Amino acid sequence: MEQKSSNITWQPSMVTRQDRNRRNGHGSLALWFTGLSGAGKSTLALTLEKALHDRGIGSYVLDGDNIRHGLNRDLGFSEEDRKENLRRIGEVSKLFADAGLVVLSAFISPDEQDRRMVRELFAPGEFAEVYVKCSLEECEKRDPKGLYKKARSGQIRNFTGIGAKYDVPGSPELVIDTERMPVAEAVQLLLGYLEERNVLANG
């Protein structure tokens, strides 16, 4: 394993996160959407992003598939690579929040320890876990990318929910049951949560 260089020093910015929030007129934090494939994580994140944009709130969606097209295209789906995938996204999410944005990260992130690792990158109040709840049966019915069908036929091994476990979050900030709650209602719930956290100061 390549050794880390000891000749690096963190360079503090002359502009703080608080400065950026004041300039933007709103707060910033990371919302981490976790749940099974097909639960609706990306749909919620993208719809919320549009609602925030319409309110003049700076936001950005980090989506699992999109990230693997670029930043993490060198990673596979082994346990080690999945952990590294989330570590990188956690670090990027932290940078986006520090830049003054509401960052919406949508990743299956099945392992509780990995999600805890990401949470610990942030100061208290800068991170919120959103459990997008949906039964395996319903996710299989939806199967928007045909992944469950491939997993059942053996084309995909260790697929979360089929050959690999998903750790249900023990204490997420929000739980959204997409089998019972329409997208529009869920987005209003998310906006209400952000308002309670004083993130939408100009909303």
Q: What is the helix, strand, coil percentage profile of the chain, to 5?
A: 40, 15, 45
Q: How confident is the model at residue 148 (pLDDT cuts 50, 70, 90)?
A: confident
> Which candidate, 60, 35, 39, 64, places its Cα nearest to that of 50?
60
Is 109 annotated in the active site?
Answer: yes
Which secondary-structure segment (H or E) carries 102?
A: strand 102-106
The Cα 44–Cα 39 span in angstroms is 10
Which residues 6+ apart lie within 8 Å of 196 measured at CB?
Answer: none
**Alpha carbon of residue 150 to chain centroid:** 25
pLDDT of residue 92: 94
Q: Which of 37, 93, 105, 109 is catalytic?
A: 109
Mean pLDDT of 62-86: 81
Res. 203: pLDDT tops 60 = no
Average pLDDT, the chain: 89
Q: Tens of pLDDT along 90-145? A: 999 999 999 999 999 999 999 999 999 999 999 998 999 999 999 999 999 998 88
Q: How confident is the model at residue 2 (pLDDT cuts 50, 70, 90)?
A: low
pLDDT of residue 191: 97
pLDDT of residue 202: 52
The Cα 131–Cα 167 span in angstroms is 11
Residue 161 region, left (φ>0) first, then alpha (ψ -120 to 50), else beta? left
pLDDT of residue 1: 45
Mean pLDDT of 48-70: 89
The Cα 148–Cα 159 span in angstroms is 8
Res. 64: pLDDT tops 80 = no
> pTM above the 0.85 mark?
yes
pLDDT of residue 168: 96
